[in-house]
């Protein structure tokens, strides 16, 4: 193990004490919230130098980097769209830093590059992605991002001439977009940043080729940062979805006929989820949890001057609806039922016609339908097999592979099993165990574990480069299906939502206890990792039971749960977590907030925090403050590191070389702490 020749950089303590609901709360590193201050930038530079002194000296690092590059640098496709006989998608070939946007005529046509970000001359962190194709296939809206930012700029391409039109939208958030039926104009909702920032939520009509200053207001939803306005495209109408966070979420839905005047209000003050789609024949279908916690699909029938009628098309069931897609005469609906993906096909009367074939213990995601509704797009993967892009034709629900990643990984050697363990409250929780056959058979082995535990997101079999790399080296991978997801319906989510969040952490800790009790591993061989909400999970587990873990990899996390809602748009997550402003939420947040539960003179496991300036979802202040807190409190010899980059954010759009280096750092850190070699031979 490389020795750290010096203590971590000094982080000045400047306590700020506030009284929240009668409880004094002290924040020693509030000054690190100011990202652009000279002292914060100097602190980040010192942390980077300190982390590199460790990471760059790990034995076998070069072998690790080469293997990571072998796994990552393969031909890859994503973001598939189809209009007529033309396919539009992103493609990255071997050695290319970023994806290009490409087009193919027919299934077997030649891939033509439409947009190559390398030709912009802005560096390798510029990424592009297709967002919408006009119904006639002549115009393409695409997004341009710099690094991992959540915002972007938006450009319009004339597909025939390959010319970028002057009709662009500046840096910001595009909340909705639709082409006019004649393609001579488009409609958009845009929230700018910086000088362009405005709290006015407006649908604008822009005539292609005209001066943007002449854009016309179609609909004004109102003012305020707690307001969201989205566009639902249709052939004769635009749907306008207005969501207000008050703090309860309230939704209104309007219809505006192209060329009309005032929109018609269809639904108002809805305190339930509404996800409408406009059909070509004028009907409105919607996904909703109105009187259906596991969601259902309804037809919203307009009633002039009175509340609409909701007619069930596809009723709620014991499994939660994950996604849905509408074609010319079919509705495809995906579920997770007992951890297994299920995709059913219905007609518009709600009659189930067929199931789309899905492999056992294979995750298949429904990605949407082509513009003309003649194909449905799917993505599938498993623990051992990387994701494939697939298509399915309505009426013939057989699945055809459209593109796949050919990663040099021996999937035949990887197996998995499922076990059940008791949670703290006695609930039985399932867990996947994945590894080489000899690792699954018997014995105590180095182990990595992750989960999610929030937002109703189900943890089903998926392929991970980090996990595949470690499995090759004899690691056991554990994936418990803790509460907070929706593996067993909405109730599984509700059990660990908001003030019940500790249930998810308890389930995760119980999974670790089971691994020890079953002699699968031991604390000095167990590492945990997670990002975003999962970063919160592993940090909470580490601060509550630090003795259970050898290493923690915590990526782009939320950690200061008393202040998370004050930054960026995180206040929109109050339904999931609650906020410290709410007297009833405060005790639960304070009891588990990782930043507030670091204890002085505690031996903490080796910890690698990962974040960056461009994260506008989980503000990097969380990682900065937590790193300082842990470094000051830790009395073990284990390193506490911050891996930080100005370009890193929440969007996975970093260039190939940067991704290889980042994965090399993470895998080298885990290999070093778990005693794994950089080569595949054990």
Residue 307 pLDDT level (bands cut at 50, 70, 90)? confident
Q: Are residues 350 and 338 in the same domain?
A: yes
pLDDT digits (tens, 9 = 90+) for 165-194: 999 999 999 999 999 999 999 999 998 887
Q: What is the value of pTM for the model shown? A: 0.95
Single residue among 406, 423, 438 that ends a domain in this structure: 406
Which two tokens mark 469?
């790399």
Domain count along the chain: 3
**Integer Cα distance of 675 and 51 in angstroms:** 19
Q: What is the pLDDT of residue 332?
A: 96
pLDDT of residue 5 exceeding 60, the answer is no
Domain contains 278? no
The pLDDT of residue 338: 87
Are both 128 and 60 inside the same structural domain? no
Any domain includes 289: no
4 pLDDT band (50/70/90 cuts)?
Answer: low
Q: What is the pLDDT of residue 486?
A: 94
pLDDT reported for residue 245? 86
Which residues lie closer than 8 Å to 427 by C-beta, 6 or more apart? 483, 507
- Looking at residue 678, what is its pLDDT? 53
65 and 105 both lie in a single domain: no
Q: What is the mean pLDDT of residues 114-136?
A: 96
Those residues whose C-beta lies under 8 Å from the C-beta of residue 167, and which sit 6 or more positions away, are 156, 186, 206, 208, 209, 212
Q: For residues 557 and 537, what is the distance between their CA atoms, to the nearest angstrom?
A: 9
Q: Are the C-beta atoms of 71 and 409 separated by less than 8 Å?
A: yes
Residues 93 and 47 in one domain: no
- Across the chain, mean pLDDT equals 94
pLDDT of residue 28: 98
Where in the sequence is the domain holding 392, given as residue range(s)? 323-406
Torsion sign over Cα 514, 517, 522, 523: positive
Q: What is the pLDDT of residue 132?
A: 96
Predicted local distance difference test score (pLDDT) of residue 650: 81
User: Is the model's pLDDT at 195 over the cut of 80?
Assistant: no
Question: What's the confidence (pLDDT) of residue 616?
Answer: 86
DSSP 290: T
pLDDT of amino acid 634: 97
Please write the tens of the pLDDT for every residue from 564-598.
Answer: 999 998 988 999 999 999 999 999 999 999 999 99
pLDDT at 624: 98
Whether residue 623 is contained in a domain is answered as yes
Of 377, 406, 435, the last residue of a domain is 406
What pLDDT does residue 682 have?
41
679 confidence band (pLDDT: 50, 70, 90): low
Asked whether residue 525 falls in the same domain as residue 540, the answer is: yes
Mean pLDDT of 332-354: 94
- The DSSP H or E segment spanning 51 is helix 38-55
Same domain as 394, residue 415: no
Does residue 524 share a domain with residue 438?
yes
Instruction: Say what the alpha-carbon torsion angle 449, 453, 458, 459 is, to the nearest 10 degrees.
Output: 0
Could you read off the pLDDT of 471-503 as tens digits, one per residue?
A: 999 999 999 999 999 999 999 999 999 999 999
Q: Tell whether the model's pLDDT for residue 681 goes beyond 50.
A: no
Give me the mean pLDDT over the 403-411 stretch: 94
Could you say which of 161, 181, 204 is where a domain stops?
A: 161
Residues 529, 458 within the same domain: yes
């Amino acid at each position: 193990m490389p020795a750290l020749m010096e203590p971590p950089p000094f982080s000045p303590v400047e306590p700020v004490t506030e009284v929240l609901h009668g409880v004094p709360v002290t924040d020693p590193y509030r000054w690190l919230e100011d990202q652009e201050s000279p002292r914060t930038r100097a602190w980040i530079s010192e942390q980077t130098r300190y982390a590199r002194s460790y990471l760059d000296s790990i034995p076998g690092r070069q072998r690790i980097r080469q293997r990571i590059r072998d796994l990552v640098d393969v031909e890859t496709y994503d973001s598939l769209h189809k209009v007529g006989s033309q396919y539009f998608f992103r493609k990255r070939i071997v050695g290319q830093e970023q994806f290009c946007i490409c087009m193919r005529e027919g299934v077997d046509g030649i891939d033509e590059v439409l947009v190559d970000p390398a030709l912009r001359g802005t560096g390798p962190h510029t990424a592009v992605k297709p967002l919408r194709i006009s119904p006639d296939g002549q115009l393409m809206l695409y997004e341009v991002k710099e690094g991992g930012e959540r915002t972007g700029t938006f450009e319009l391409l004339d597909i025939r001439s390959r010319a970028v039109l002057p009709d662009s939208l500046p840096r910001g958030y595009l909340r909705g977009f639709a082409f006019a039926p004649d393609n001579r104009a488009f409609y958009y909702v845009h929230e700018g940043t910086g000088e362009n920032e405005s709290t006015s939520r407006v649908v604008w009509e822009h005539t292609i080729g005209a001066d943007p200053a002449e854009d016309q207001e179609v609909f004004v939803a109102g003012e305020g940062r707690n307001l969201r306005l989205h566009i639902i495209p249709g052939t004769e109408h635009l749907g306008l979805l207005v969501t207000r966070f008050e703090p309860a979420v309230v939704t209104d839905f309007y219809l505006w006929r192209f060329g009309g005047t005032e929109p018609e209000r269809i639904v108002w003050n809805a305190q339930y989820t509404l996800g409408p789609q406009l059909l070509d024949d004028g009907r409105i279908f919607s996904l909703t949890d109105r009187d259906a916690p596991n969601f259902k699909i309804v037809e919203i029938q307009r009633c002039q001057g009175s509340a609409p009628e909701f007619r069930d098309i596809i009723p709620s069931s014991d499994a939660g609806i994950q996604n849905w897609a509408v074609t010319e005469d079919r509705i495809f609906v995906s579920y997770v039922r007992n951890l297994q993906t299920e995709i059913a096909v219905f007609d518009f009367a709600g009659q189930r016609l067929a199931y789309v074939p899905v492999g056992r213990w294979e995750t298949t995601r429904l990605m949407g339908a082509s513009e003309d509704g003649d194909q449905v797009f799917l993505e599938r993967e498993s623990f051992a097999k990387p994701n494939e892009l697939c298509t399915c034709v309505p009426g013939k629900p057989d699945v055809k592979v459209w593109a796949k990643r050919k990663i040099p990984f021996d999937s035949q050697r990887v197996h998995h099993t499922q076990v059940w363990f008791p949670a703290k409250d006695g609930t039985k929780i399932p867990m996947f165990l994945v590894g080489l056959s000899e690792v699954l058979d018997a014995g105590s082995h180095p182990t990595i574990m992750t989960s999610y535990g929030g937002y109703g997101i189900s943890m089903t079999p998926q392929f991970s480069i980090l996990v595949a790399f470690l499995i090759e080296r004899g690691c056991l991978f554990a994936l418990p299906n803790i509460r907070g997801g929706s593996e067993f319906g909405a109730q599984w989510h509700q059990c660990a939502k908001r003030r019940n969040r500790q249930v998810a952490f308890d389930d995760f800790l119980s999974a670790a206890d089971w691994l020890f009790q079953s002699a699968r591993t031991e604390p000095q061989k167990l590492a945990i990792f997670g990002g975003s909400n999962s970063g919160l999970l592993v940090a909470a587990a580490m601060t509550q039971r630090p003795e259970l873990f050898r290493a923690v990899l915590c990526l782009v996390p939320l950690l200061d749960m008393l202040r998370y809602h004050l930054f960026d748009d995180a206040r929109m997550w109050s339904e999931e977590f609650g906020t410290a402003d709410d007297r009833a939420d405060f005790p639960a947040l304070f009891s588990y907030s990782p930043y507030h539960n670091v204890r002085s003179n505690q031996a903490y496991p080796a910890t690698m925090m990962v974040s960056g300036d461009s994260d506008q979802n989980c503000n990097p202040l969380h990682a900065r403050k937590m790193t300082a807190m842990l470094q000051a409190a830790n009395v073990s010899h284990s390193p506490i590191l911050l891996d930080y980059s100005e370009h890193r954010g929440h969007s996975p759009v970093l260039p190939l070389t940067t991704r290889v280096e980042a994965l090399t750092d993470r895998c080298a850190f885990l290999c070093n702490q778990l005693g794994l070699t950089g080569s595949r031979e054990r």
